[in-house]
Every structure is written in structure tokens, then in C-alpha cells.
Chains A and B, each alone.
Chain A
């Protein structure tokens, strides 16, 4: 059970900054997810913790000890790779036992520990096989088993589920949750899939272009995104964005003029432009087809409808404005219909047009 502290840590390749310096303390037993699009620096950060990348600036402390110059094997960390990285010419047993063998652990103990881990992961029958004879999911379990056997203080995961098909991914996700509940070790998990992040994480660190955009629990990140990037990245389908400009009368009007508001739910100071954000699930279709009085209620045309199963997605047009709404799947409006919608006032987000930062009162 170990705390991992990233103290003003940063990575540069020559003049190119891959990860801008930031602070982060990962608590004992926490499952922390690094989330972001490709190239955002999440893998680089993970590899710095692992020891596969050197740390250009700042310090890494694991369990209170500075690990910047320590070899990966001595850091007490174990890593699960995206492509499993199993030794193809060695059996499952040998793959899982390798680290222990290198530490000169006694053979009987190796057998015991590997056996236990294999049982935990349902791999006991496969110990003699080579990776090529296993399915993707099994290989992934071997990769995880290899990490578990080492009883590390910190588990590192580098997009481990990306290579699995959708169904398997869901299943493995749940297994990972169970494992974490069982082992309780500090874990750092990298992914670009926000569903994985939301379901697995105690806290999420969202990164973009080498910069940390927000750190928070899934709830925090979803309900109170710190900036436009986070708001648009987390949540599927993505949040709707609309630019509004204040006219001389104080009304806020969309660029095309089709949609307007008399007042914003949050005080935006002297700004004359804002970006409005509303999630698809926060757009309601009103019964009766007539917009309610007051702000945030409009008449819209249904341009497209997609039935997802339990829900349906509607592509709505209000003049030139396009909004995506999520509604119940039973008896939902279809293409060509005209509906009245209401935007949920309590769930509106406002962002500064220049910085992208969330505007809060």
C-alpha cells in the first residue's frame, strides 16, 4: 500500500515538451486513471513512473522515496502492457515467474505464488501453454498475472483493454474492478476510452497536449468539468456546444440568430461572448409539442433519429442550430417531427470563449 507522489514532474525531449510540469498525489490503494486522446502525454507520464522514460524535471516519490534514478525493477512497480508483451517463446508459467526468477526467489515459493495467481485469474489449466495458443483475453490475464505475482506496491496499466473486442472489454473491465477490490493496491491506469475511465477510476486525471486539464472523481469531472476540453471529452455522446453573443439589449443570441436567451444562469461578468454547453441527456422533449414559457424552451425539427435500444438519439434543428438530444427509446419522436424541447437550466455549462475555462459563479 503505497502513496505515489508526482512533484512538479515534467518530460521534455530536447526542446519539445511532452508533459508539462504538474503535481499529483496518488493515495494508497487509489485507482487513478490517466485519460486523454493520443499524444496527450498520459503514456509518457505512466512510463516515467515505471522507469521506462527518464524524468526531465521534478521528482517521483514512491512510498516516500525518490525514484528518479532507480531502475524499474527496484521501484516496486509492475506494468501491464497494451499488447500484453508476453515472451512468445516461453510458457505461461515462465512468463509469470520471470521476475521472481530474476530476483532469485526460491523455486518452491515461485511455484506457490504463480499457482495462486493463476488460480485467481483462472489460468491454472494453461500454465504449460505458450502465448500463441491462448486467446486475447487469456493473454491479457497472463499479462495481469505477471504483474500480480510480483506483489508490487503500485500497478501500472497501459491501455490494457484496447486490443480486445467490445464484449470482452466490458467483461475484463469488471474483472479488473473485482481484482482491485480484492488486492487493494495503488493503481495507475492509462486509457483513451472515457467509459473505462468513468467505470474504473477513483479519480481521473484528464490530459490534453501534455497538459493536465482536470483532476477529479468521475462525478466531479462529469458534472463540473473545469474546461471545455474536459466537458467535450467526457460523456458519450459528447456535450453540445453553442456560441452566444450578447447584443445591445442584453439578450444572448447564437451566431446564426436562431436561438436566444434573455439571461444566463451564471454571472459572466463583463463578457460579451460565451460558449454554452449542454449534455444530450439534459435536453427534454416536452409533451404537447408546445414550448414552455420563458428561456430555454424551443421548437425544434427532428432531422435524424437513431434508436440505441433503451434510449434514442435525436438530431434536432432549431433554425441553423444543431443539437443532439438523448431521449427514452419508447415512442420517441422520429425524423420529420416537430417537437418542443426544454434545456435543463440546472445542468447548463458556460465556458470562456478564449481560454475554454468553465465560468462558475
Chain B
């Protein structure tokens, strides 16, 4: 390989990294400043003095902000579990069980996934209202599951398609029923696919906004993105609180993304190959 001057390359890379991280870094810095520091002129770039007061405040005065994070977690987890279970079974049936018109169904599922969430809002709101599903974990979990099932089905179907069919046939010869084959052979062998898809769905659910906004009207039940952005209420933004809360809400996602970046990227790019 020719050696080329790497300075330009590194410069660009550093620039991209800085731009990507800039808002987050600024946010973290803001959360570590005192109120005076935030609104100071000339503007303070680095916190002087450095303070954890904002974080303490959240824990003592406004713990509901933490509740938002917990809500997000519950909903995202529930949605991921449901989506993987239902989506896994459907994906398997459509890719492996040789069903008639499986292809048509897959395309329909894809098409349906393109609906704008806002167009679902009026009816979903009314339906959930009359079914008593508003402001319940179950309600939003099911709603999110519906939103992300098409993606899950497609992703998992494509993972299943990479398994050699012979193994499933051998299992049939040995006497395994379809569900047993799915449970003891297919799932263990496509585990990475489940992990990648699950991570992505978790992130999707965590970040989802329109449905979470509309289906959880009680403050205590709100998910993190909704709760925090609606927090200010009547007065001007208390940026010290908001920035801190945002940092706290973002931390789980950052951690998950950092740990599982390989799987996530793998999942996304595999999905793109569809």
C-alpha cells in the first residue's frame, strides 16, 4: 500500500469526532456549572467553579426526572421482549416454513412500517382512551411493539435465512416439532441476530416521541424524552436542571451504545443490505 500523508485524514477524523461530541460535551459542561456560571457574561466555557449541585438537586428536589428514565426503561424493555418474541416467530415462519405468499406478506409488513406515527395518533388515542390503556405501561409497550415489529420481522428473517436449512431438516428427521426446532435450534444459532436487533429496538423505543407524548398524559408516567422536553412548563427553561436531567437520561443510551457498538453497527448494516 502506498503511504499517503495522513495529516489530512486525521484532521478530518478529529473534526468529525469533535462535531459529533460537541453538543453532548457542552451539555455535560453546562450541567456542571453553577446557575451564575451558566448565565454569565463573558460566557464561561469551562465550569468555574465546578459543581455537582445540579445533580444533587435533581435527586433531592425533582426526583420525577429520574422517574422518567425508569419509565423509559420499563417501556423499552417490555417492547424489546415482545417485539423479539413475536417478530422472531413471524420472521421464522415467513422465511423458513415455506408458506404460501410469504413474500407478499413481508412486503406488506414493510409498507405498513412506513406509516407516519402522527397519522396513527388520533385513532390510537381514542382507542386507548376507551380501552383504558392510556397512561399504562402495557398500553405504550404494545404501541411501541406495533411500531417496531416490521423492522424486527425483517431483520430476524434475514438472519434466519443465513442458517443452513439442512440442520432444521435433520431436526425434523429426529422428530422435533416446529416450535421445538425454533426454540432449541434456530434461536441459539441466531443469537447474535437477536442481540443486535434487540439492542436497536431498545434504542428505538427509548427514543420514540410522538406516541409516548400522546399516550402518556400523566407526568408521572412519561418517558424520558417526553418528560424532559415538557418539563419547563410555564416558565422559562431552567437550563441547569434540564441539562442535568438530559445528561442523566442520555447516560444509559451512551453506555449501551458504547458497550455494544459492534453489534449495533453490525445489525444496522445488515439491515441495510435488505
Q: Contact: B175 with A102, CB < 8 Å?
A: yes
Find out whether the CB atom of A83 lies under 8 angstroms from the CB atom of B166: yes
Q: Is the CB of A50 within 8 A of B173?
A: yes
Determine the chain B residues whose CB is within 8 A of the CB of A85 once the complex forms. Answer: 164, 166-167, 169-170
Question: Could you say which residues of chain A place their CB within 8 Å of the CB of B173?
Answer: 50-52, 72-73, 77-79, 99
B-facing residues in A34-90 (Cβ within 8 Å): 50-52, 71-73, 77-79, 81-89
How many A residues face the partner with a CB closer than 8 A? 23
In the complex with contacts A87-B185, A88-B189, A89-B189, A81-B172 CB distance below 8 A: no
Among A50, A73, A82, A83, contact of B175 (Cβ-Cβ < 8 Å)? A73
Judge whether B175 and A103 touch: CB under 8 Å. Answer: yes
Give residues of chain B (138-197) contacting chain A, Cβ–Cβ below 8 Å. Answer: 164, 166-167, 169-176, 185, 188-189
When distances are taken between beta carbons in the complex, the residues of chain A under 8 Å from B185 are 87
In the complex, the answer to whether B174 meets A102 with C-beta atoms within 8 Å is yes
**Complex contacts, B175 vs chain A, CB 8 Å:** 71-73, 99, 102-103
- Summed over the interface, the residue pairs from A and B with CB atoms below 8 Å come to a total of 53
How near does chain B come to A190, taking the closest CB pair, in angstroms? 14
Q: Does A307 interact with chain B (Cβ within 8 Å)?
A: no
Q: Which residue of A lies closest to B188 (CB)?
A: A89
A73 surroundings in chain B (CB, below 8 A)? 172-175
Decide if A359 is an interface residue (CB 8 Å cutoff).
no
Collect the chain B residues with CB atoms within 8 Å of residue A51's CB.
172-173
The answer to whether B189 and A81 have CB atoms under 8 Å apart is no
The distance from the CB of B220 to the nearest CB of chain A, in whole angstroms, is: 45
A98 touches B174 (CB 8 A): yes
Known contacts A87-B185, A89-B189; decide if A81 and B170 are in contact (CB<8 Å): yes
Which A residues touch B172, using CB under 8 A? Answer: 51-52, 72-73
User: Bound state CA distance, A27 and B170, in angstroms?
Assistant: 25
Contact A82 B166 (CB under 8 A): yes
Closest residue to B180 on the A side, CB-wise?
A: A102
The contact of B174 among A82, A84, A99, by CB within 8 Å, is A99
CB A249 to nearest CB in B, in angstroms, measures 61
Task: Report the bound CA distance from A77 to B172 in whole Å.
Answer: 12
Bound together, the chains give a CA A98 to CA B170 distance in angstroms of 10
Chain A residues engaging chain B, CB cutoff 8 angstroms: 50-52, 71-73, 77-79, 81-89, 98-99, 102-103, 146
